[in-house]
Amino acid sequence: MTKRLFSILTVALMGTVCAVAQDKPVIKVETNNVQLVFKVGDNGRLYQSYLGKKLNNDADLKHLPRGIEAYLTHGMEDYFEPALHVEHSDHNSTCELKYVSHEVTTQADGAKLTTITLADDVYPTQVKLHFATYAGQDIIVTNTEITNGEKKPVVLHKFASSLLNLNRSRYFLTEYHGDWAAEVAMSETELNFGKKVLDTKLGSRASMFIPSFFQLSLDAPATETAGNVLVGTLAWTGNYQFTFEVDNNGVLRLISGINPYFSEYTLKAGETFKTPDFIFTLSDSGRGTAARNFHNWARNYRLKDGKGTRMTLLNNWEATYFDFNEEKLAGLMGEAKKLGVDMFLLDDGWFGNKYPRSSDHQGLGDWEETKDKLPNKIGFLCKTAREKGVKFGIWIEPEMVNPKSELYEKHPDWVIHLPNRKEYYFRNQLVLDLSNPKVQDHVFGVVDRILTENPEVAFFKWDCNSPITNIWSNYLKDQQTHLYIDYVRGLYKVLDRIKAKYPNVPMMLCSGGSGRIDYEALEYFTEFWPSDNTDPVERLYIQWGYSSVYPVKAQCAHVTTWNKESDIKFRVDVASMGKLGFDIKFSDMSKDDAEFCRNAVANYNRMKPVILDGDQYRLVSPYEGRHASTMFVSEDKSKAVVFAFDVNPRYREHLLPVKLQGLDPNRQYKVKETNERGNNYWFNGRTYSGEYLMTVGLDLFSTRRGLTSHIIELE
Ligand code: DGJ
């Protein structure tokens, strides 16, 4: 009986797959190399007909099968996870979307925007699917708008940003899970029938265990340089969900959006719900191309000040923790100047008077300088920094509160916590309720007060150490399921105000490491803190993981004392692959090491345009085990910087030369070693053609000693 039912369904499905009316529109969404094609069926519904390498003959598009419904709704005849579930005001939960129209416009940033409008014939629900295409970067940014045309409220139970269908022989999902100080550990799984869900419900520190991006290899596992791979990420600074569902026909349905968990959202009459952006690229030449597509797109279109430079810095967190005063800080500013970095960054511990922030147990929320520590306030620190010749930046964590604080005493109603249960704390703190406009004013006020009183403050490190716990909003009252979403929207309202009033102040996004990172946040933040783990060996993995979608320009990499087995050169070389900073006491360093760091900062400043703005080629993965190498090539291919690390070599290991990538085969490149410490390559100073370097390669690795590193500049 089941078998018979199955064959009836299969026949029915195949029948519908073929039926496409000739006069119905065929909608192409395309970049230089990627194409998404939609068709309208005889039944008026919208189908995704194709997603893959761009087909250059338009006449061929008519041969494509109709495909699978493009934005599947709950309650109709499909049997898999829907993208949309609307409960109408009469409690009917079905929706049948039909094609209404589509249009193509040009966005302010130059992207081509295709908007497809769908509507239900029975209920006045309208859905707009938006696709912005960045042709040169092969990036597609997609989101959805759902409008309630009824006279009464409706409830959204599911509201995906995107649904994509892929029909391939096999699917391999690479995810990047982790935890504090162990972020973005890469692993790959083959997907078979059924669902695999990557999601989070942590609220504020949403991506503490898993960041919101993935790589999906199609047909076979992709390598850095070969294979088909779809890389996607959700631009939402809160709970997200990716559902990968392989159906009975072996088709993979990929649904991306806000995690609907405890987030049923009531839409008032006439109201529109706009989902966050799902951003993806498809590469047929491996993961490296996909990563560069993202980097290039981010620097040009998304990352705050994506084309600007970045400041090197000295941070005091690991050098002092909470134990500092004006004199100590002035000393560190002097060290920053000697080191040659651009800025001194004061970390946690500068505020609170009734409950001074002498540890992470108290004071959070009370953003007044601690009189004992800083009697002359931030103004004095700005002045001292100016006199020493460096810029001054400061740490804040404005969305949070310690229960032991004046803020909590004055405004317990501003805190997300349950009125009738014992509080549960994460790092001794609670999250403020950003759905409440008064709380938004408070958070904006933290930044505004500092910058109004001290216009010289040149940088913020914005931290966020707690997920949302004890979930209850005093403000939202009977709409508790709006909290996760309205929290994020409240955060964006604050960040919009900051960006409007202080457009040029760079900010680092931090979340006890990188517990919160996505491409919507990066519209407001110039950079992020990938991990509190600054052990250079671990950082090789962490920086590798994040570079799957984020450019190194946005990744802060600091030299600290983590991993005392590694020498200063190894630590500095690893950190020079990102946005270089230091968080270390120079007074504890030998003269030679301090001198090495000074030279390394000068070298970094010279290489910075190539590293931060060049194309990144990941040559040898640390996941291969014993060595790692990454290179950066300037846009005009006239310069390159190559990093090579021997992490844990073996005696008489069979090592091959490493083939470089991205160079001009017809140019001659001179190899020059940088950050030298008496261990130069034998080929230092030689000149090679780009062709030789990319075909034969260089002996970048050695079997002699672990934890050794080299940087070479090619010109
Ligand atoms: C967590 C961050 O990741 C650290 O860099 C530091 O800023 C501490 N918070 C301060 O509390």
Tens of pLDDT, residues 105-142: 999 999 999 999 999 999 999 999 999 999 999 999 99
User: What is the distance of C-alpha 89 from the center of its chain?
Assistant: 37
Number of neighbours of residue 447 by Cβ within 10 angstroms:
24
Question: Residue 21: what pLDDT?
Answer: 46
Please give the average per-residue pLDDT across 332-353, as a whole number: 98
- Which residue has the least CA distance to atom 10 on ligand 1? 348
Rounded CA gap, 648 and 708, in Å? 9
- Residue with structure tokens 């078979």? 192
512 Cα: distance to centroid of ligand 1 (angstroms): 5
Rounded CA gap, 674 and 680, in Å? 9
Q: What proportions of the chain, in percent to the nearest 5, are helix, strand and coil?
A: 25, 30, 45
Model confidence at 309: pLDDT above 90 = yes
pTM of this structure: 0.96
378 Cα: distance to centroid of ligand 1 (angstroms): 19
Rounded CA gap, 162 and 183, in Å? 26
Rounded CA gap, 519 and 59, in Å? 37
Question: pLDDT tens across 78-113, in order?
Answer: 789 999 999 999 999 999 999 999 999 999 999 999
Please give the average per-residue pLDDT across 24-47, as a whole number: 97
User: What is the distance of C-alpha 253 from the center of its chain?
Assistant: 23
Please give the average per-residue pLDDT across 390-409, as a whole number: 98
Please give the average per-residue pLDDT across 146-162, as a whole number: 98
- Which residue has the least CA distance to atom 5 on ligand 1? 532
For the chain, how far is it from start to end, CA to CA, in angstroms?
72
Question: Residue 14: what pLDDT?
Answer: 33
254: left (phi over 0), alpha (psi -120 to 50) or beta: beta
439 Cα: distance to centroid of ligand 1 (angstroms): 23
* CB contact at 8 A, 142 and 162: yes
Hey, is 423 helix, strand or coil? Answer: coil
348 Cα: distance to centroid of ligand 1 (angstroms): 7
One-letter-per-residue 3-state SS of 650-679: CCCCCCCCECCCCCCCCCEEEEEEECCCCC
**Ligand 1 pocket by C-beta < 6 Å: which residues?**
317, 347-348, 360, 395, 463, 465, 510, 512-513, 529, 532
| Ligand 1 nearest atom to the CA of residue 347, by list position | 7
Please give the average per-residue pLDDT across 575-581, as a whole number: 98
Rounded CA gap, 95 and 188, in Å? 36
| Ligand 1 nearest atom to the CA of residue 511, by list position | 3
Which pLDDT band holds residue 22 (cuts at 50, 70, 90)? low
Model confidence at 6: pLDDT above 60 = no
Question: Residue 77: what pLDDT?
Answer: 76
| Ligand 1 nearest atom to the CA of residue 583, by list position | 5
Question: Residue 384: what pLDDT?
Answer: 98
Phi, psi for residue 318 in degrees, rounded to 5? -80, -15
Residue 200's closest CA among 264, 275, 263, 129?
263
Mean residue pLDDT of the chain comes to 95
Which sign does the torsion angle of CA 315, 320, 323, 328 carry?
Answer: negative
Q: Which two tokens stand for residue 129?
A: 């699917």
Q: Which two tokens stand for residue 522?
A: 């990066």
* CA distance readout (Å), 568 to 21, 303, 474, 600: 68, 31, 51, 10
Helix locations, 392-526, DSSP H: 406-410, 437-453, 483-501
Please give the DSSP secondary-structure letter assigned to residue 224. Answer: S
Q: Which helix (H) or strand (E) holds 134?
A: strand 125-134
Please give the average per-residue pLDDT across 649-656, as a whole number: 94
DSSP string, 383-400: HHHHHHT-EEEEEE-TTE
Which pLDDT band holds residue 666 (cuts at 50, 70, 90)? very high
List the beta bridge partners of residue 392.
344, 457
529 Cα: distance to centroid of ligand 1 (angstroms): 9
- Which residue has the least CA distance to atom 3 on ligand 1? 512
288 Cα: distance to centroid of ligand 1 (angstroms): 31
Kindly state the percentage of the chain with pLDDT values over 70: 97
Model confidence at 76: pLDDT above 90 = no
604 Cα: distance to centroid of ligand 1 (angstroms): 25
Which pLDDT band holds residue 23 (cuts at 50, 70, 90)? confident
Rounded CA gap, 329 and 126, in Å? 58
Kindly state the percentage of the chain with pLDDT values over 90: 94
Rounded CA gap, 400 and 528, in Å? 19
Hey, is 689 helix, strand or coil? Answer: strand
- Which residue has the least CA distance to atom 9 on ligand 1? 512
Angle CA 700–705–709, to nearest 5: 45
Which pLDDT band holds residue 204 (cuts at 50, 70, 90)? very high
Please give the average per-residue pLDDT across 250-271, as a whole number: 98
Please give the average per-residue pLDDT across 378-404, as a whole number: 98
Model confidence at 387: pLDDT above 60 = yes
Model confidence at 10: pLDDT above 80 = no
Residue 402's closest CA among 412, 388, 392, 391?
412
Please give the average per-residue pLDDT across 367-385, as a whole number: 98
441 Cα: distance to centroid of ligand 1 (angstroms): 24
Pocket test for ligand 1, best of 183, 313, 317 (most atoms within 8 A of CB): 317
9 Cα: distance to centroid of ligand 1 (angstroms): 56
Rounded CA gap, 590 and 55, in Å? 61
Rounded CA gap, 532 and 346, in Å? 16
Pocket test for ligand 1, best of 510, 516, 517, 583 (most atoms within 8 A of CB): 510
Question: Residue 704: what pLDDT?
Answer: 84
Model confidence at 209: pLDDT above 90 = yes
* CB contact at 8 A, 556 and 534: no
Model confidence at 224: pLDDT above 60 = yes
* CA distance readout (Å), 334 to 321, 328, 388, 433, 643: 18, 10, 6, 40, 30
For the range 559-562, what are the long-range contacts, defined as Cβ-Cβ under 8 Å and sequence gap of 24 or more? 559/534, 559/583, 559/584, 559/597, 560/318, 560/534, 560/584, 561/318, 562/533, 562/534, 562/535, 562/536, 562/538
Question: Residue 679: what pLDDT?
Answer: 84
